[in-house]
């Protein structure tokens, strides 16, 4: 039996509440719904939805049901990946899930908000710089991996292979 570590203070959100909140945010982003749209469809304010997504407020069972219905997913979707809720089926996260998780994170939202404040032309240039950096890092990574695989292993060196 696995137990969650106790929150640092009584006011700290429980890790399960944080997990469910992140899952709500991920499914909402995957569904291409804004916080305002989802909040409106379930009858709450977008601020309340933000609190759910950040884990600051717990989501009641009935509200979780309403959110799941509105997004067209089973309620169990919000508990996927929760420790102690594993199934025998292995589900590997897709790269798309990692991107959506980043976009739904506080850091991702801050980045997007900052980018949206830039004029479109500047935003396009920033995106080009980021893409170029990513390509450069991928090239350096590939070169490092190639050099490492070209070097003989210690066993090969000992046998003279």
Q: Which of 28-32, 86-90, 122-126 has the lowest mean pLDDT?
A: 86-90
Residue 3, pLDDT above cutoff 80: no
Q: Distance between CA atoms of 122 and 48, rounded to whole angstroms?
A: 33
Whether pTM > 0.95 for this model: the answer is no
Q: Which of 144 and 2 is assigned the larger pLDDT?
A: 144
Distance of CA 55 to the CA centre of its chain: 14
Kindly list the distances between the CA atom of residue 70 and the CA atoms of 6, 65, 94, 130, in Å, as whole numbers in the listed order. Answer: 32, 9, 24, 35
pLDDT interval class at 86 (50, 70, 90): low
For residue range 95-110, what is the model confidence (pLDDT) as tens digits? 666 777 888 888 888 8
User: What pLDDT does residue 133 have?
Assistant: 86
Q: How far apart are the first and last CA of the chain?
A: 50
For residue range 37-84, what is the model confidence (pLDDT) as tens digits? 999 999 999 999 999 998 889 999 999 999 999 999 999 999 988 887
Residues 6+ apart with CB under 8 A from 129: none
CB atoms < 10 A from the CB of 131, how many? 10
């Amino acid at each position: 039996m696995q137990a969650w570590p106790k929150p640092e203070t009584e006011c700290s959100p429980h890790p399960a509440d944080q997990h469910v909140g992140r899952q709500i945010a991920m499914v909402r982003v995957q569904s291409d719904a804004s916080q305002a749209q989802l909040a409106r469809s379930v009858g709450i304010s977008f601020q309340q939805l933000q609190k759910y997504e950040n884990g600051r407020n717990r989501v009641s069972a009935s509200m979780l049901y309403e959110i799941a219905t509105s997004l067209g997913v089973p309620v169990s979707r919000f508990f996927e990946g929760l420790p102690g809720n594993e199934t025998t089926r292995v589900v590997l996260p897709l790269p798309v899930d990692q991107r959506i998780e980043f976009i739904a994170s506080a850091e991702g939202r801050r980045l997007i908000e900052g980018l949206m404040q830039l004029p479109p032309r500047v935003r396009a240039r920033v995106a080009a710089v980021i893409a170029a950096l990513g390509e450069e890092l991928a090239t350096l990574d590939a070169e490092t991996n190639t050099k490492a695989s070209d070097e003989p292993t210690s066993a090969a060196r000992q046998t003279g292979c």
